[in-house]
Amino acid sequence: MFTREDHKDLQARGISEADIDRQLKRFREGFPFLAIARPTTIGDGILRPGKDTLDDFIDLYESNSAREVVLKFVPASGAATRMFKELYAALENDGHNIENNALDEFMTNLSAFAFYDELKSCLANKGLDTGALIKSGNHLPVIRLLLGKEGLNYGFLPKGLLAFHKYNNSSRTAFEEHLVEGALYSKGSNNIVRLHLTVSPEHQESFKKSFSEAGPDYEKKFGCKFKVDFSTQKPSTDTLAVDSDNNPFRDANGRLVFRPGGHGALLENLSDLDADIIFIKNIDNVVPDHLKEETVRYKKALGGMLLSFRERIFHYMNILTADTENHEGLIEEIMAFLAEELCMVFPWGNDQWGREEKRRYLISKLDRPLRICGMVRNEGEPGGGPFWVKNHDGSVSLQIVESSQINLSNPLMKKLYNASTHFNPVDLVCSVKDYKGNKYDLHKFLDPDTGFISHKSAVGRELKALELPGLWNGAMADWNTVFVEVPLSTFNPVKTVNDLLRPEHLPKDHHKFSGKQQ
């Protein structure tokens, strides 16, 4: 099946033939659907701490974070092309609006965008007056200079380097907002704010340049020292594309076609990090300073919860693994902790397992990475949500599940899915070290049966692509998991450019900008 050139391609990417065999088998057999038992709800899998409890967790985090290596992990790969889908459609339609009035909304509120002044200068340099273009309905020059390389190049830049928010006499990119957030809640030992961003290779230097220009000012403003690192998705995580008959897909030159393995590929990047507390948050989920207070408050609370759960887990692990009988009276206490606070359902009856068997089982369940996951009320956003899921060993656990992992043609599964009350905003705090301080091998805790097969196209032909188990889905399937409700105000993604017109992305006095051109 494979030529000498194929073997060279595989070797260059670090992909073995055994990997390819497994991928081809997945294409042939597909992935099994998850057996969801029920959606999680408040009091049944999702915690809703009261104000006093939140304050206690915040105090715990603030009291201890300076002794921890804290790191903020931000997936930031890829260009922002999808943000401008409607604008690209208008370009192809000679500047006319063709979808949901998105172009009209964009042009009417152009001056409200943080990139407006820079775009206006680009137009002026071309001898064009922004107001006159808008008044005449000549939108093409505006769109071309926003997206194209002769202007702001926003169609090719990464989302993290776009101007998101307007301040008095300046603007901030999404990347800069993450720097500010980091200074506010992820300051760790030695007053260092550590950030790690996963970026595309072609954008890495642009991110470094942005940090070198903006970083010193933010260090001075917040009295901290930034340590910012970048990594790219490893070629070994790419997956082979296939045609409709599940044969390897080849381009016009006969070369194998590979596709990125999805955000599940970032498990490799996460595994390379060395930190005690890791916050995970997407690049586009940021707000201006006047709205950061609640986000910072809940981030610290989630961090405090992580420390609280971690302390208890480590305490129990030290007892259960000691060469004494001190654990004798604690089996029931630990089982109650796992059942009531880590929401674990055991696969045994009261009389089926002996005490030693239970001890070993409890160690296997305690000795795992830990994640605290913020969940928001479901307001119709597409994406995954929290569910109780039946596992292979007969137990039931908390999982973040995508709709594609559920057999929605099954009436019961569809009913359970539609009954979900909460949504996953990618708001995680993680501990990836064991009770002795050793890093876990995170690959041991993923579920390989939780990938995806999607349909794409290349060189004018249809293909099938394989996505690895998602980073916060199947890649963390066997982690200890806690779901916590967080306010909807902490979830402010930017999927389209017009999302930047939402009140949560505009200045406090945003009414001055709405619909007015300057």
Range of the domain at 93: 86-157
* Residue 512 is assigned to a structural domain of this protein: no
For the stretch 374-410, pLDDT in tens is 999 988 766 789 999 998 777 789 999 998 899 999 9
Same domain, 138 and 230: no
For the stretch 13-34, pLDDT in tens is 999 999 999 999 999 999 999 9
Nearest to 467 by CA among 266, 265, 271: 265
What is the Cα–Cα distance from 154 to 497, expressed in whole angstroms?
Answer: 10
* Residue 200 is assigned to a structural domain of this protein: yes
Of 157, 183, 213, the residue that ends a domain is 157
Of 157, 182, 205, the residue that ends a domain is 157
Distance from chain centroid for Cα 9: 30
- Number of Cβ within 10 Å of residue 251's Cβ equals 12
Least confident of 17-31, 51-65, 252-266, 383-397: 383-397
Distance from chain centroid for Cα 373: 11
Reduced 3-state DSSP string for 458-473 = ECCEEEEEEECCCCCC
- State the DSSP string of 220-245: HHHT-EEEEEEE---GGG-EE-B-TT
Using only C-alpha atoms, the chain has a radius of gyration, in whole angstroms, of 25
Q: What is the pTM of this model?
A: 0.94
Q: Residue 433 is part of a domain; what is its CATH number?
A: 3.90.550
Same domain, 437 and 315: yes
Q: What is the mean pLDDT of residues 27-50?
A: 95
Per the structure, the count of domains in the chain is: 2
What is the Cα–Cα distance from 363 to 129, expressed in whole angstroms?
Answer: 69
- State the DSSP string of 41-69: EETBEEE---HHHHHHHHHHHHHHGGGS-
* Residue 434 is assigned to a structural domain of this protein: yes
Of 129, 157, 185, the residue that ends a domain is 157
Torsion of CA 442, 425, 386, 236, to 10 degrees: -30
* Residue 167 is assigned to a structural domain of this protein: no
Residue 282 has pLDDT above 50, yes or no: yes
Q: Are 90 and 483 contacting, i.e. CB atoms less than 8 angstroms apart?
A: no
Residue 326 has pLDDT above 70, yes or no: no
For the stretch 95-104, pLDDT in tens is 666 555 888 8
Distance from chain centroid for Cα 90: 30
What is the Cα–Cα distance from 142 to 356, expressed in whole angstroms?
Answer: 71
Same domain, 119 and 208: no
What is the Cα–Cα distance from 361 to 426, expressed in whole angstroms?
Answer: 30
What is the Cα–Cα distance from 260 to 241, expressed in whole angstroms?
Answer: 10
Q: Are 320 and 363 contacting, i.e. CB atoms less than 8 angstroms apart?
A: yes
